Every structure is written in structure tokens, then in C-alpha cells.
Copies of this chain bind each other. A is one copy, B any other.
Amino acid sequence: MDSLPALDRDASPEALPDSPAAEAPTFLDRLFDAGLLVRTGVDGLYGRSGAFESVVEALDRLVSRLGADDKAEVMRFPPGMSRSTFERSGYLKGFPHLAGTVHSFCGNEADHARLLACVEAGKDWTEKQAATDIVLTPAACYPLYPTAAARGPLPQGGLLFDLQSYCFRHEPSLEPTRMQLFRMREYVRMGSPDEVLAFREVWLDRGTKMMAGLGLPLAVDLANDPFFGRAGKMLANNQRNQNLKFELNVPVNSVEKPTACLSFNYHQDHFGTTWGLTQADGSVAHTACVGFGLERITLALLRHHGLDLDAWPADVRATLWG
């Protein structure tokens, strides 16, 4: 990864305007007060105003424009995926604490009466809910790998996909950048190690230029996924030692703990092996993806350019809304 773009790795305190005093409302409170996010009573679960959505949609179009020449195949999955696919994906090994399974009522009328009595009495009515065949999508690319593998070996030169979906992660938080339901845009490359690493290089460059062009202070850093438990620490170390994950960080909640707005991931042959996805020559396919956290980038823009979209710098507005 010698060709990583040289970036300022120490965002200065000046990079975060209007840092609130101790008694001042938090950034989340200010987003609520401005009506940009809407309270639901659950941490990390918010409604979005039309203004907020207009930024998300503009970012989505911007990412499309940056990748347009590559002619990725567009595919969109709903926010839930097959449970059996999810089980086979290996997600539960690394991130059992983040997953969300969907459960439903399968009882008769007597069971229904008991359920309603529980709700009425404020007791737990969810124990009788039974797992359905659906699990919430943890990352936009998870439903893609078995879909691609079902088509047979990759063509010469591999494949490139364009994805976006709502994703779920069970990590209630008061940081507005850590939502339980959020949208992730992704490009996913499948092919030889050289092909997928070249893809990641291209997007490290494009993503960095995109975010700098939006007037955001940033740093690209080696990173790891939030693996569960002690064994997870080893997995995280391995991931770092092999330079598998980079994140593009922007100070949003604080300068000390900047927010990963984009991530650049090399999965090696993990998904290829898991799903029997092969290259044209029969060898196992490698994969890589670049992910854009659409709400996180929106929040970074709101933090740095202010809560009034009309007052954003003219060049940023031009980039988003031409």
C-alpha cells in the first residue's frame, strides 16, 4: 500500500468548528432542534428531514458520477437478507452482537389474546416470537456474494457491482454518526488479487478527492472491524497487520475520535471461498469493496459547513447540486 495518498493524519482542533462548551447542546441535540433528524425514542434510530435526505441523495448521485466510467452492474437489495445465507457468510463468527434477526408471531387466536394481554400489562410479549427466514442486512454487499457465485465462474477480467441499502447494526449510541439503521453505498469488485487491489487503490484516490472536494478535513487510516470478544482481538490484529482495511476519517463528534465515512476493504479470498466464487481460470476469486456511509458523510458536512444547507460554501453546493 505504498501508493496510499499522503494525507494529514492529525486533524487539528481547528478542523472542528463550533465545538460546543460543556453545557451547550450536543451535536445530536442541535440536529433535532434544527429538524434535520427526528427523535423516535430509540438511540441511533432517527427520522430524516427533507433537507437531510436531499444531501444523502446528492451524495448518492455524486458517487455514481465518480464511478460512471467503470460501468458497474447496478443491483439493489432490500434491508433484509436470507437467514441461511447470513449464517453461511461467517458474520456471526465476528459480529454476533451487531446482527439483527427478524422474528414473527406464528400463533393462533388464543396466543394472540395472550400476546395482547402481555402488551396491555406492559410485560414482555416478544418471547413467543419465532425467527423468520430473514436477517437484517449488516453491510450492503452481504447479499451479493451468493448471487454472483450462482452465476458461475467470473468472466475474464472479473466483475464490478454497484450497491446501496439500509443496513442494521445493534449498537445503540448517542453519537449521531452511529445509527442502528443507516444507508451504505458500495462498489464491489470481484476478480484476481491484482484486479481487486487495483480497484481499491483507485477508490482510495477517488474517495479522498471527493471528500476533500466537499471541504472536509480528513485522514486515511489503517483500520479493523469491531470483532467480538477476545478471539476478535486477534482477528482485528491480523486484519491490521495485513493492511486489509482502510478508513477515511473525518472529525464529526470529536477530533480525538474521528468518524469513518468511507471504508476500503480487501477481503482476500474470504467470500470467494465461502461462496465457491471462482475466477475464469477456476481459481478462487478475491473481492474488495469501497463503502460510503451516506448518513455519516451527510453529518460530516452538517458539522463542518453548518446546519443551514443554503449557507454551505458555493463550491460544495455546486458539487452536490450542480
Contact = CB atoms under 8 A, between A and B. Distances in A.
B96 A76 contact: no
A75 B50 contact: yes
A202 interface: no
B126 A79 contact: no
A45 B131 contact: no
18 contacts: A40-B81, A47-B77, A47-B143, A48-B76, A49-B74, A50-B73, A52-B76, A80-B136, A87-B119, A92-B119, A96-B105, A99-B104, A104-B170, A109-B228, A112-B228, A124-B131, A126-B131, A129-B131
Given A46-B78, A48-B75, A104-B170, 13 more contacts: A38-B147, A47-B75, A47-B76, A48-B76, A52-B76, A80-B168, A93-B116, A97-B105, A101-B103, A101-B104, A102-B103, A102-B170, A126-B131
Nearest to A166: B79
Contacts of A180: 80, 134
Contacts of A166: 78-79, 166
A104 B112 contact: no
Ranked 3 nearest A-B pairs via Cβ: A50-B74, A126-B131, A78-B181
A36 to B, nearest CB: 11
Contact of A84 (B41, B85, B143): B41
Contact of A102 (B97, B106, B136): B136
Interface string A50-78: 10110000000000000000000111111
Contacts of A77: 38, 40, 47-48
A283 B96 CA distance: 49
The A interface is mostly helix, strand or loop, or mixed, namely mixed
Nearest to A231: B109
Given A75-B38, A85-B40, A87-B119, A80 B133 contact: no
Contacts of A104: 97-101, 170
Contacts of A136: 80, 102
B39 A150 contact: yes
A102 B102 contact: yes
Nearest to A108: B229
A88 to B, nearest CB: 9
Nearest to A162: B50
A84 B168 CA distance: 19
Contacts of A182: 78
A45 B134 contact: yes
A46 to B, nearest CB: 8
Contacts of A143: 40, 47
